Homo-oligomer: A and B are copies of this chain.
Amino acid sequence: MIAVDWGTSQLRAYRIDDTGAVTAQRRAAEGATACRGRHAEVLRACIGDWDDGLVMLCGMVGSRNGWREVPYVDCPAGVDELAAALQPCDTPELPGRRLWCVPGMADRSGAGDAMRGEETQVLALLERLGRGRHVVCLPGTHSKWVEADDGRIVSIATAMTGEVFDLLRRHGTLAELVPAGAGRTGTDTGSAETEVFDRGLHDSAADGGLLHHLFGARAHVLFDSLPAERLSDYLSGLLIGHEVRSLLPMSVRTGGMTAHLIGNAALLDAYARALAASGIATQRHSERLAADGLSLLARHRDLS
């Protein structure tokens, strides 16, 4: 079978053999919400020479602005509910392929929350971790905090951390302070970067709130206590510190639980550092869990 994790910024395709092992992997820089009207064409260009019939899709490809809208499945839900809600998406443009798309998940408590793609990674992780209570953080443009209990996802909370970081680095008075070509994030491995990232983390715990702390970043540069070319590292620590402090579930904070992190290595370094500063142990997992999750859902629905 072929597993396709198709998010906002890129498409990742995995070829999976009968034992569930990934035998090949490809990427395309075409986001699911940016290639309207060309989804079949983009998919054919990426996997056209893989002759497997079954193609499992997850991610923003199933959103209102993606290819086919697949309604959300509400929390709490696990592999049973998600497998039952898989939606067939066959199209004459891709003859001989059986296409199935995974629904996103919604949490209707509070203001409401949702995710598309992350649920598939989390399901694969839960299969490995076994029963019990688990907390998973998937850092990114929109960081997801997911709580699970006995294999079912029970809550979702999203923070716009990565997006706010990008907005501040690209527009407005903080962006104007940063010299062109200065370091990008707090995830570089140099000691100066790490030191400034930690300072941002530390300052995020002070009184006054995020909107005040952002001006504090400006004041640091104005008063020459922070080199302007390190402002991004400081902001990264400040924002991730705010996110972790606000969204880390109480069960992890007080119960000595491990927080599971899924994402790219550089970003996980930063989050593991922020969590360690709060005394929380972490375990890291690759985004390739999406392939395992799609394979799991296909088996559960007897598609493969």
Contacts and interface: CB of A to CB of B under 8 A. Distances in A.
Interface of A: 64, 106, 108, 110-114, 142, 157-161, 163-164, 166-168, 170-173, 203, 206-220, 222-223, 225, 239, 242-243, 245-247
Nearest to A215: B158
Nearest to A211: B159
Contact of A208 (B157, B170, B207, B239): B157
A111 B159 contact: no
Contacts of A172: 163, 166-167
B112 A216 contact: yes
Contact of A209 (B163, B166, B214, B245): B245
A142 B242 CA distance: 20
A116 B218 CA distance: 14
Contact of A158 (B112, B163, B212): B212
Nearest to A239: B211
Copies in the complex: 2
Nearest to A142: B215
21 contacts: A64-B222, A106-B223, A111-B217, A112-B220, A113-B216, A113-B219, A142-B173, A158-B215, A159-B209, A159-B211, A159-B215, A161-B211, A167-B167, A171-B171, A207-B246, A208-B246, A209-B245, A209-B247, A211-B242, A212-B243, A212-B247
Contacts of A171: 167, 170-171
Contacts of A217: 111
B247 A111 contact: no
Contacts of A161: 211
Contacts of A243: 209, 211-212
Contacts of A142: 173, 215
A223 to B, nearest CB: 5
Given A167-B168, A171-B171, A246-B207, A112 B222 contact: yes
A260 to B, nearest CB: 19
Contacts of A170: 171
B110 A206 contact: yes
Contacts of A209: 159, 210, 242-243, 245-247
A36 to B, nearest CB: 14
Given A163-B173, A172-B167, A111 B211 contact: no
Contacts of A220: 111-112
Nearest to A208: B246
B215 A113 contact: yes
Given A160-B215, A167-B172, A171-B171, A210 B114 contact: no
A285 to B, nearest CB: 23
Contact of A210 (B207, B216, B219, B242): B242
